[in-house]
């Protein structure tokens, strides 16, 4: 069932067309990630859906509810991670959660949220004394106070160190385990790949493609690049190249002295055949790697542009 459907959203700020045409549907319980480079229109899209910025055109439906007729009902089912600037430096995480809880008829218990976002031991520190990662965790906690079914997180890990990012990923996965629907924006490809059920790649205000990360990568190519190097001098590589070229699954092979790059539809079969041969000949393979395709490759394939964070 679609819990959110947006159709042909458009938004301009003066001459800047921040969002030109964005449509997608989100299913109950999924992590749906909007990913794109800086200025792609992610935040503007999210803010239109959250009811903070009015679209110039397009429709936003939360099931049967829409902002024009049902704004009070929508506010009860969505949780929005506040901007860090909306926090009070002199208040503690506990006080922030209590303040936010007072806005709702029904709220989750403060202790439960603190535990979920790993802030129990910091609950009485003033926000100005928290690290960047701890503040982001508090922001996610604040989005959870009303026990919303759908949680919006706008670039929750931007600017955090790798460990703090991973902590946030764990929290997002815990929310998913509670069957919450999570709509996330990021410009980190690895994050989108790790967390998302589906990703929506946007660039210059338009949707480029939407699918599961693995499906997008698979669509890109059926071939994988395998690299290996031999310990011996060139003979091992030259003879192996001949064997590899005779395999139907191998489309081509490049050799640079003792190193081979192999493009194959079936890396496992290719390596089995190769190792049969190298064993017989007693050639020593030194290094081997199979290059993983990533969402970054998907972005480059769809836009023809390099990905930059």
Give the residues lining the site for ligand ATP (CB under 6 A). 13, 16, 18, 36, 38-44, 187
Give 44 or 270: the residue with its C-beta nearer to ligand ATP.
44
Q: What's the min distance (Å) between Cβ of 49 and ligand ATP? A: 12
Handedness of CA 50, 51, 52, 53 (dihedral sign): positive
Contacts 24+ apart (CB under 8 A), 244-250: 244/270, 244/273, 244/274, 247/273
18 in Cβ contact with 30 (< 8 Å): no
Give 185 or 270: the residue with its C-beta nearer to ligand ATP.
185
Give 5 or 206: the residue with its C-beta nearer to ligand ATP.
206
Give 32 or 230: the residue with its C-beta nearer to ligand ATP.
32
- Could you tell me the two tokens for 72? 């009070």
Q: What's the min distance (Å) between Cβ of 210 and ligand ATP? A: 16
In this structure, are strands 150-154 and 181-186 parallel, antiparallel, or unpaired?
parallel
In the chain, how many H helices and how many E strands? 11, 13
Q: What's the min distance (Å) between Cβ of 41 and ligand ATP? A: 4
In this structure, are strands 285-291 and 224-230 parallel, antiparallel, or unpaired?
antiparallel
Q: What's the min distance (Å) between Cβ of 36 and ligand ATP? A: 5
Q: Which residues of 234-273 are buried (b: 16+ CB within 10 A; e: fewer)?
A: eebbeebbebbeebebbeebeeeebebebbbebbeebbeb
277 in Cβ contact with 243 (< 8 Å): yes
Give 199 or 271: the residue with its C-beta nearer to ligand ATP.
199
Q: What's the min distance (Å) between Cβ of 80 and ligand ATP? A: 15
Nearest to 267 by CA among 227, 235, 237: 227
Q: What's the min distance (Å) between Cβ of 182 and ligand ATP? A: 17
Give 60 or 260: the residue with its C-beta nearer to ligand ATP.
60
The whole-angstrom separation of Cα 251 and Cα 72 is: 59
């Amino acid at each position: 069932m679609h819990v959110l459907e947006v159709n042909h959203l458009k938004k301009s700020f003066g001459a800047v067309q921040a969002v030109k045409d964005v449509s997608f549907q989100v299913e109950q319980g999924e992590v749906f990630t909007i990913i794109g480079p800086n200025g792609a229109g992610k935040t503007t899209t999210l803010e239109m859906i959250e009811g903070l910025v009015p679209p110039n055109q397009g429709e936003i439906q939360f099931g049967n509810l829409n902002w024009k007729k049902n704004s009070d009902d929508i506010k009860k089912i969505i949780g929005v991670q506040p901007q860090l600037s909306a926090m009070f430096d002199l208040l503690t995480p506990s006080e922030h959660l209590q303040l936010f809880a007072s806005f709702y008829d029904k709220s989750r218990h403060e202790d439960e949220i603190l535990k979920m976002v790993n802030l129990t031991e910091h609950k009485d520190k003033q926000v100005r004394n928290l690290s960047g990662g701890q503040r982001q965790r508090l922001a996610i906690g604040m989005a959870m106070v009303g026990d919303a079914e759908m949680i919006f997180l706008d670039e929750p890990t931007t600017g955090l160190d790798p460990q703090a990012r991973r902590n946030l990923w764990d929290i997002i996965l815990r929310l998913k385990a509670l069957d919450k629907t999570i709509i996330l924006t990021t410009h980190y490809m690895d994050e989108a790949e790790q967390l998302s059920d589906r990703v929506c790649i946007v660039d210059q205000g338009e949707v480029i493609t939407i699918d599961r990360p693995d499906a997008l990568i698979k669509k890109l190519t059926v071939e994988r690049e395998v690299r290996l190097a031999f310990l011996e001098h060139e003979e091992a590589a030259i003879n192996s190249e001949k064997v590899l070229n005779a395999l139907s699954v191998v489309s081509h092979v490049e050799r640079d002295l003792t190193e081979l790059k192999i493009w194959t539809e079936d890396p496992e079969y290719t390596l089995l055949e190769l190792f049969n041969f190298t064993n017989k000949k007693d050639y020593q393979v030194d290094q081997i790697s199979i290059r993983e395709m990533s969402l970054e490759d998907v972005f480059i394939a769809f836009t023809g542009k390099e990905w930059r964070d």
